Amino acid sequence: MKQNFNLVATAAAGLEAVVGKEIKALGLDCQVENGKVKFQGSVRDIALTNLWLRAADRIKIIVGEFPAKTFEELFQGVFALDWENYLPLGCAFPVSKAKCVKSQLHNEPSVQAITKKAIVKKLQKHYHRPEGVPLMENGPEFKIEISLLKDRATVMIDTTGSSLFKRGYRTEKGGAPIKENMAAAIMMLTNWFPDKPLVDITCGSGTFCIEAAMIGCNIAPGFNRDFAFEAWPWVDKTIVAEVRADADSRANYEAPLDISGFDIDQRMVEIAKKNAAEAGLGHVITFKQMRLQDFRTDKINGVIVSNPPYGERLLDDKAIQILYNEMGQTLAPLKTWSKFILTSDEHFEKSYGQTADKKRKLYNGTLRVDLYQFYGERVKRADNIRRSKNDV
Ligand code: SAH
């Protein structure tokens, strides 16, 4: 079997660079592209990235890439790939996904069917099975995906299984949750460090607080779940066990953190508590029922995150305007705090009463949202000092 793989980490639009940074932090070189980050690595790296990447969706092996304008080219291209190095006899290999974008071949079910046929033929030949007799597929599963972009096919095997945002701690999510990997990515885009207070004033099911606590305690986001590749016979189980044991030894559940989440809805507070407990972080985060309008603090240099209700989702427009306005008034006195607010409302700044220092376009599922970023005074002053030094 192979030692080195061409790999790709997929990510939501807008988060590729965050995933690229994470991959580099694991010691791997990578190239950031649209919606994905490409890198090379071993079985250990497949385990490492699945276990540790907080912002990615999935890790896939690229089996091959080739031009394909016709079904014949597609068939021959898939057939030519070294499937025998990945797929043991008896494994299940559904072609679970086909995606065609700006390509002559655009009928996805047909692309799926041809891909399957070509792999079957290759395995029949390699394992000396008679043609015409279907292969048994009752072994471990390898999900195959094919994408055609501008007449170029990329054939991949998913190593992850259910998407990486499913950490395994969320028992219930309430009406409008943010995905775990998006929440983690946003935490990494803020200027929060584990030594600063963090407050989510509209915490819902607690995702921001839990993801931040996992960062603060150095907990691998995937510690509580398993991955598709772990069931593959050629994956050395001792390597995976080592990577998991190493992750366990790095976790520090006693890290001194100051993380709280508030929500107006007591039911959400209960859910957030349950989720934090499930992640082993019940003792780390304080969740409390409170209206954001009542939030006061004497602490300094903290960070506020919030994913408040937006028009499309929970409240009507007028009520949203009032809520954002009260949010602005409540947070305005916290001059040294930085604030990061995620909403799809394009008039947010007007209702909130302040123009953001920075805005970043993201996608929460298919919904376009902006992360409005307001930096606390200390940071601004430090920036000014740096700037004036550079000016000299
Ligand atoms: N990020 C959260 C989802 C937030 S949805 C998650 O991942 O689950 C918005 C939340 O804001 C809802 O839970 C709602 O109850 C809460 N909310 C609405 N008005 C509020 C107010 N005035 N003060 C505090 N929380 C409020």
Rg value, the chain, Cα: 24
178 pocket-lining for ligand 1 (C-beta < 6 Å): yes
List b or e across 218-252, with b for residues whose CB sees 16 or more CB atoms inside 10 angstroms.
ebbbbbebebbbbebeebeeebbeebbeebeeeee
What pLDDT shows up at residue 295? Answer: 97
Q: What φ, ψ does residue 32 adopt, rounded to 5°?
A: -90, 125
- The CATH architecture that domain 5-158 belongs to is 2-Layer Sandwich (3.30)
Mean predicted confidence (pLDDT) in 141-151? 98
Question: Rounded to the nearest whole angstrom, what is the distance from the C-alpha of residue 261 to the centroid of ligand 1?
Answer: 10
pLDDT band at residue 70 under the 50/70/90 scheme = very high
List, by residue range, all CATH 3.40.50.150 domains of the chain.
180-219+245-386
Kindly state the tokens that stand for 339. 């604030």
**Structural class in CATH, domain 180-219+245-386:** alpha beta
List, by residue range, all CATH 3.30.2130.30 domains of the chain.
5-158
What pLDDT shows up at residue 324? Answer: 96
Mean predicted confidence (pLDDT) in 240-261? 96
14 pocket-lining for ligand 1 (C-beta < 6 Å): no
**Which amino acid is present at 191?**
N
Kindly state the tokens that stand for 30. 């990578």
Question: Rounded to the nearest whole angstrom, what is the distance from the C-alpha of residue 223 to the centroid of ligand 1?
Answer: 27
Question: Rounded to the nearest whole angstrom, what is the distance from the C-alpha of residue 215 to the centroid of ligand 1?
Answer: 22
pLDDT band at residue 171 under the 50/70/90 scheme = confident
What pLDDT shows up at residue 390? Answer: 47
Question: Rounded to the nearest whole angstrom, what is the distance from the C-alpha of residue 76 to the centroid of ligand 1?
Answer: 53
Give the other-Cβ count within 10 Å of 31's Cβ. 11
Dihedral sign computed on CA atoms, order 388, 390, 391, 392: positive
Mean predicted confidence (pLDDT) in 7-11? 97
Structure letter (DSSP) for residue 161: S
pLDDT band at residue 312 under the 50/70/90 scheme = low
| H helix intervals, the chain | 16-25, 43-52, 71-80, 108-126, 180-189, 207-216, 237-250, 266-278, 317-331, 348-352, 377-391
Q: Is a pLDDT exceeding 90 seen at residue 310?
A: no
Q: Is a pLDDT exceeding 50 seen at residue 15?
A: yes
322-373 residue pLDDT tens? 999 999 999 999 999 999 999 999 999 999 999 999 999 999 888 899 999 9
161 pocket-lining for ligand 1 (C-beta < 6 Å): no
Q: Is a pLDDT exceeding 90 seen at residue 259?
A: yes
Question: Rounded to the nearest whole angstrom, what is the distance from the C-alpha of residue 308 to the centroid of ligand 1?
Answer: 5
Q: How far is CA 143 from CA 52, 159, 197, in A?
A: 22, 8, 42
What pLDDT shows up at residue 317? Answer: 83
Q: pLDDT exceeding 70 applies to what percent of the chain? A: 95
What pLDDT shows up at residue 391? Answer: 43
What pLDDT shows up at residue 392? Answer: 37
Q: Write the Ramachandran bin of 273: left for phi over 0, alpha for psi from -120 to 50, otherwise beta.
A: alpha
Q: Taking the mean position of all CA atoms in its chain, how far away is CA 101? A: 23
Give the other-Cβ count within 10 Å of 119's Cβ. 23
Q: Is a pLDDT exceeding 60 seen at residue 384?
A: no
Q: Is a pLDDT exceeding 80 seen at residue 298?
A: yes
Test site for ligand 1: of 205, 207, 265, most ligand atoms within 8 A of the Cβ: 265
